[in-house]
Structure 1
Amino acid sequence: MGRWIFLRGLTRESRHWGDLPARWVQHGLGQPLLIDLPGNGDARQQPVPGTVRGMAQAIRDAAHASGTSGPLHILAMSLGAMVATDWAQTHPEDLASLVLINTSMRPFSRPTQRLRPQNWAAILGMARHWHDRVRCERTIHRLTCERLDTRDADLARWVEIGESAPVTRDAAWRQLLAAARFRAQDVPPPCPTLIVASDVDRLVDPRCSARLAAAWQAPHVRFARHPWTGHDLPHDDPAWLCDTVRAFLPRQ
């Protein structure tokens, strides 16, 4: 089957996947390689490139340095999905498939769809109180999660992660600017691609994923929607995600 690489989004790191990697193994999809974007997690000391292209090169270098060989599959969300897309479009020989979760890209979506205006004040509030991890993680959970039965445990864990491997405000800003500037190619990645959207995403309009799938209309591009999860779909319903990817693979 080849090796899966997982890429998270803005300011998030490998530990934010929760139990998805373990579920991935249980579903027979193999042990994923978890790589952090520059500025996050294990890569927090790395300079953050000002472009998604620079981030993609850093991730590609990290994958090669790990000794991982192809065929490579990538599951990525949000900013990580932009990085995965750029990698696939610039080095198509590296990748066997993509799963892109709740992402958005120019030229397919407007700025107000890529980041819903009703959230701008909350995001500015996080920027002003960046070192108050409890406040920031509460805001992130409210904006990205619909599953609330694990909220207290989630927040405790996320605060612990943020304090043990803090992402600087400058790194977060550079990641946000890179995401805002990123423009994907009009043609789809050449590898089989599954675009996944959450219908109740409070952060990014799910129409961004729908329009991306429509623009990339091709036999090897698929589109899947979840009816109730938020932006952090892997948190809200990891079992559904594993099942959906598992069903996607035989079609390749």
Structure 2
Amino acid sequence: MNKGLGENWILLRGLARESAHWGDFVPLLQATFPDAKMTTLDLPGAGRFYQDESPKTITAIADNVRNHALELGLLQQPVTLLALSLGGMVAWEWLHNYPDDICGASLISTSFAGLNPFYERLRWQIYGKFFGLLMQQGTYKRELAIIQLVNNNRERDGQIAKDWEQIQKLRPVSPKNMYRQMLAAATYQPSPEKPTQPVLLLNAKGDRLVSPSCSEAIQNKWHLELRTHPWAGHDMTVDDGDWVATRLKDWIASSRM
């Protein structure tokens, strides 16, 4: 039995994204765990820290996020991490360096250097589109292009693009910080030790940004639990938040047995 699992959540987003990009997934997760505490934290260089300089290593980013959690009094009881993409690397580093902080973690659509080649960690088929959208003129068009790359459910593209456009206008992530975060992700070498805490991996067959094989490689190396969405894209919390919440509920129920 893993005491405290699913009672005190910290959510971490990925590259050049912030807490507001979770959208309606946070209230959905809260409804799934009505008695739990939910906190979204921003990485340095994004969100409330968009004017700060992002470190160039995952270790330094993880230390920064942990210090913020300490300042907010979030670590008085062990936390359950839910982390997407680059945030998953931060969660893994935190898990290993400060194991007493954390009672479990779920990593969504993440990848580690050394386990998969670079052209799977950022799929070679989308190189042109990915670097093209970084040069896209107009915030709305750029955010819409990002959505159409990381998501597969097209029903709410317009509204989500408007929401993300507003986020970027209020708290713009600088090209410099995006580069520093990309460098941190590209060079991150994870600890080879298997965590003692339960870890759930989530990936999606329709991920066009990061190959699903990256999560499979993590699963195979450390013999972790993996659940795969049949059609969602890289950000499955936007594509099918209900599926993610259900997988988390099942994982926590089985881990408590």
Give the TM-score band, short-chain normalised: over 0.9
1:167 and 2:166 correspond: no
User: In the alignment, what sits opposite 1:18?
Assistant: 23
CA distance in 2, matches of 1:190, 1:181: 24
User: In the alignment, what sits opposite 1:191?
Assistant: 197
User: In the alignment, what sits opposite 1:58?
Assistant: 64
**Root mean square deviation of aligned Cα:** 1.2
User: In the alignment, what sits opposite 1:114?
Assistant: 121
Ranges in structure 1 where 5+ consecutive residues have no aligned partner: none
Ranges in structure 2 where 5+ consecutive residues have no aligned partner: none
For residue 125 of structure 1, report the CA deviation from its aligned partner. Answer: 1.8
List aligned pairs for 1:1-252, cutoff 5 A: 1=4, 2-28=7-33, 30-68=36-74, 69-129=76-136, 132-217=138-223, 221-252=224-255
SS at match of 1:243: helix
CA distance in 2, matches of 1:208, 1:56: 21
Q: Percent identity?
A: 32
What is the TM-score when the length of structure 1 is the normalising length?
A: 0.95
SS at match of 1:45: coil
For residue 184 of structure 1, report the CA deviation from its aligned partner. Answer: 0.7
For residue 162 of structure 1, report the CA deviation from its aligned partner. Answer: 0.7
Alpha carbons 2:148, 2:157 under 8 Å: kept: no
SS at match of 2:37: coil
SS at match of 1:214: helix
For residue 44 of structure 1, report the CA deviation from its aligned partner. Answer: 0.9
Q: Residue deviations 1:65-96, cap 9 Å, x none?
A: 11112211100010000000000011111110
CA distance in 2, matches of 1:117, 1:20: 29
CA distance in 2, matches of 1:223, 1:118: 25
For residue 187 of structure 1, report the CA deviation from its aligned partner. Answer: 2.3
CA distance in 2, matches of 1:240, 1:88: 25
Q: Residue deviations 1:84-116, cap 9 Å, x none?
A: 000001111111000000000022111010001
CA distance in 2, matches of 1:123, 1:113: 14
Letter in 2 for 1:204: V
